[in-house]
Chain A
Amino acid sequence: MINRRPSRWLRHLRLIAIRLWQLRRVLVLVMLYLVLFGWLFSGDRAGDVRPTELYGMRETPRWREPDRDHWCGTAVNGADLFELCRFAMATSVSVAVVAVSAGIVLALLLTMPLVFDPGENRFAWIERVSGAGVILPGMIVMVILAGGGGGGLRLVIPGLAWLVALMLSPLLCRWFREGEDGFEIVAARVLGLSRREIVIGRVLPSVLRRLPGVFAILVPVAMLAEMSLSFLGFTGDRLSVGVMIARGQAYLIEAPWMAIYPGLFATVVVMAFSLLGWRVSAALRTGPLPPLL
């Protein structure tokens, strides 16, 4: 028997396999996430669908009750409500994903420059601003911003991103502070590592590791916020579940499914994203986040 050391490539592959095994729960959840995204974004986009065309009053409405062909019934112009709900939810999910990602990046940009400062009160101004900022509830800020500015995604996405950043920044400060208190950090200091090396090599990875959990928890919250704003009519003439429910109210007596099924669809999708979010957050030990809106 020849006693041979495994090749470099083999060792690397083994390390990757071990790392993947450690991350197995997160990977399964990411796969589920991708399946959910794929399902929402699959199918015919049906072009540029406008709520005014779908729900506009007609002399001879072409709606149909839910049946085997149309699980959720049809809209006033005869379009399948299930497909419309899927299209609307895909938009809500996109808005939420973009806004939350931008918010997390913004929070990191706000807090990161302060991490390299060794002072005790380096995070004080962020915590003070955030403490005063949360007194005005986020939903009121969004209503004034989106309603006053004429609606549309150009206001909703940056607004939600700022709110996420405002809420997340003190949490990141706390995590950075906790990260610097660990035994290995003390050991690194004793060994003579510079502050930059400690922050980039030790503290930052431990904080970044938790961010996918934050993202997964905040996406359903942002989805609900987007739907609420569209229900109030502050996101422009764009198809969304909120708009579908708001417009469906006009036909509550003749065609109640137009207000009921979009809400049911939204509840199921938000619940699926929330369940995945809780699992991802538990797997990454993110801990409870403060309520956002």
Chain B
Amino acid sequence: MIRHLFQRLLVALARFLVVGLATLALIEFSFVVMGDSEHHVWSRGAYGAVPQELAPGSLTWEGLIRARLVATARVLTLVIPSVLLIGYSWGMLGARLRRYRLARLLAMPFAAFACVPGFWFAVLVATYSYFHWQRPGFANDLVVERGPDLLAWWHASVVALPAMAGGAAWQIRAVAAVLERETTRPWVGGFFVAGANDEEIFYGRAIPRAASSLASLLDRPVAAIVGGLVVVESAFRYPGLGSLVVESVRLGSYPGILLAALSLAGVVLVATLLRELISSRE
């Protein structure tokens, strides 16, 4: 078990290195080859202190990434458990009642919400907040100085909602599809003949048999969720890692791009690692 864990950790580390190199190559290609920047990724001048526009206070790169990571972690804390909870429970329910095509029906509200451009949703919330609550709506407008920072959770939930919708819709349909495929296998007929009822077959046999396939879906929507955060955070002016990527690209700050992109890739990598460990246990 420990050997397997180390093996997976090494693979994850290798992947992280590959992603890091790929990001550097992407920065070089887009900024130097396609753009008009004169700084190569390997030149020392491209890596300086944190630009004033990225951190109004005198923060180091480490401090800036930590602050942004905390903000993004708050959003991910809301999004990922919700997607997994809704995806797996509603997906199973949809597969159980497949004769009524319930999976599609359950996924429909999320899929419809995923059609709304996330950045527009953030602008709408800000507008509504301004006109109806008479307070600035964007996330960077107000800072809570005393007491519990409930406003931070409100901002995080505004960013989390559009990111969650697409992920949940996909997860419901994917879980239902796996279970529906499992329940059409020939062994199901055998259990019927042996006198087992629907529920015994579905909960007692189909779900345990499909467990490894279900576990392999754990990390699939994470990359899309993280990608969605980049746009929504920027639109809502939420100070997370996603908006740091966009701000750094605008300023042409290579360390900002690299650190933010690798931190977000790290989130996806951790999800992949967890999935691999859980799948191998199955």
B residues in contact with A293, CB < 8 Å: 224, 227-228
8 Å CB contact of B117 from A135, A148, A228, A260: A228
Q: In whole angstroms, what is the CA distance A149 to B27 when docked?
A: 9
Q: Other CB < 8 Å A-B pairs besides A278-B111, A288-B170, 18 of them?
A: A134-B223, A136-B261, A137-B226, A138-B223, A139-B231, A143-B249, A144-B23, A148-B31, A224-B117, A227-B119, A231-B231, A249-B123, A259-B120, A260-B127, A263-B120, A270-B115, A270-B116, A293-B224
Tell me whether B227 and A138 are in contact (CB under 8 A): yes
Closest chain A residue to B221, Cβ basis: A291
Q: How would you classify the secondary structure of chain B's contact residues: helix, strand, loop or mixed?
A: helix
Give per-residue flags for B28-41: 1 if the beta carbon is below 8 A from chain A beta carbons, else 0.
01110011110000
B residues in contact with A131, CB < 8 Å: 15
Tell me whether A291 and B166 are in contact (CB under 8 A): yes
Tell me whether A290 and B220 are in contact (CB under 8 A): yes
Instruction: Report, as a range, how many residues of chain B touch the other chain.
Output: 35 or more
Tell me whether A228 and B118 are in contact (CB under 8 A): yes
Tell me whether B177 and A137 are in contact (CB under 8 A): no
Q: In whole angstroms, what is the CA distance A139 to B126 when docked?
A: 23
Closest chain A residue to B112, Cβ basis: A271
Question: Chain A's nearest CB lies how many Å from the CB of B167?
Answer: 7
Tell me whether A147 and B30 are in contact (CB under 8 A): yes
Tell me whether B30 and A145 are in contact (CB under 8 A): yes
Instruction: Report, as a range, how many residues of chain A touch the other chain.
Output: 35 or more
The verdict on A137 contacting B227 (CB below 8 Å), with A150-B34, A260-B124, A291-B221 known, is yes
The verdict on A287 contacting B249 (CB below 8 Å), with A228-B119, A259-B123 known, is no
A residues within 8 Å of B by Cβ? 131-141, 143-150, 155, 220, 224, 227-228, 231-232, 234, 241-242, 245, 249, 252-253, 256, 259-260, 262-263, 266-267, 270-271, 274, 278, 287-288, 290-293
Tell me whether B220 and A291 are in contact (CB under 8 A): yes
Tell me whether A288 and B246 are in contact (CB under 8 A): no
A residues in contact with B245, CB < 8 Å: 140, 143-144
B230 interfacial by beta-carbon distance below 8 Å: yes
The verdict on A143 contacting B22 (CB below 8 Å), with A132-B15, A135-B268, A231-B231 known, is no
Tell me whether A263 and B117 are in contact (CB under 8 A): yes
The verdict on A143 contacting B123 (CB below 8 Å), with A232-B231, A271-B115 known, is no
Question: Chain B's nearest CB lies how many Å from the CB of A268?
Answer: 9
